[in-house]
Amino acid sequence: MSTAAIDTPPPSAAVRHSPAENIVGILVGTLVASLGLFLINSAGAVTGGTAGLVLLLAQVLHWPFAVIFAVVNLPFAVLAWTRKGWSFVASSVISVSLFSTFSLLHPKFIEAAHVNPLYAVLVGNLAAGIGILIVFRHHSSLGGFNVVALLCQDRLGWRAGYVLLGLDATVVALSALTAPLHTVLLSAAGVAILNVVLVMNHRPGRYPAAL
């Protein structure tokens, strides 16, 4: 019998991440995702996801962003608690907090006086997709639409990337009511790139160590 046959565990015996690996993974994932969002915002592009939806609602309701963000995310938090358990909710709260903190720090250390919009949107969404992928694989999320996407993948077998693509596309389409057409089209291309990263790399049964 070969050494490889002895050392390689069967597919059903996937090794779980250690607590230290989860901490580092969530730190790196939220940092990379927030850097991607910083690039997207630097280009003045429309943001998808729950944040994009909250920004649209803020323009209509004229409420503070933080208040609308909390109200919108509350039902998603309850859904996650009932369907995925307290550990997932706690981890997601930490991820969202880190993501928000990093988002506040980037402008203090990066001066983006001029950035090519096409480059910023495409690379920014690519970075955001990679960051979200890392967070997903450490049994966490950035809340909001992420929760719906992961539940659809776990319960229905739908790939999280496709679910997020549909939700993000809806937000970008609604942004056409207030944003210029060229901004909406560029944002749509960016949203597609972000979710292609998730479709190709996060699918049912591909990464059992994250569960």
pLDDT tens string 111-127: 866 889 999 999 999 99
Q: What is the mean pLDDT of residues 174-187?
A: 87
Confidence check: pLDDT of 43 > 70: yes
Q: Which amino acid is at 101?
A: T
CA–CA distance from 9 to each of 36, 133, 167, 205 (Å)? 36, 24, 38, 16
Taking all residues of the chain, what is their mean pLDDT, rounded to a whole number? 83
Contact 134, 28 (CB under 8 A): yes
Q: Please state the domain extents for the chain.
A: 18-205
Torsion-angle region of 139 (φ positive above 0: left; ψ -120 to 50: alpha; else: beta): left
Confidence check: pLDDT of 159 > 80: yes
Q: Per 3-state DSSP, what percentage of the chain is helix, strand, and coil (rounded to 5)?
A: 75, 0, 25
Counting residues of the chain whose pLDDT is more than 90, the rounded percentage is 25
Pull the structure tokens for residue 32.
Answer: 């990379």
Q: CB neighbours (10 Å) of residue 199?
A: 18
Confidence check: pLDDT of 208 > 70: no
Q: CB neighbours (10 Å) of residue 16?
A: 12
Confidence check: pLDDT of 30 > 70: yes
Q: How confident is the model at residue 71 (pLDDT cuts 50, 70, 90)?
A: confident
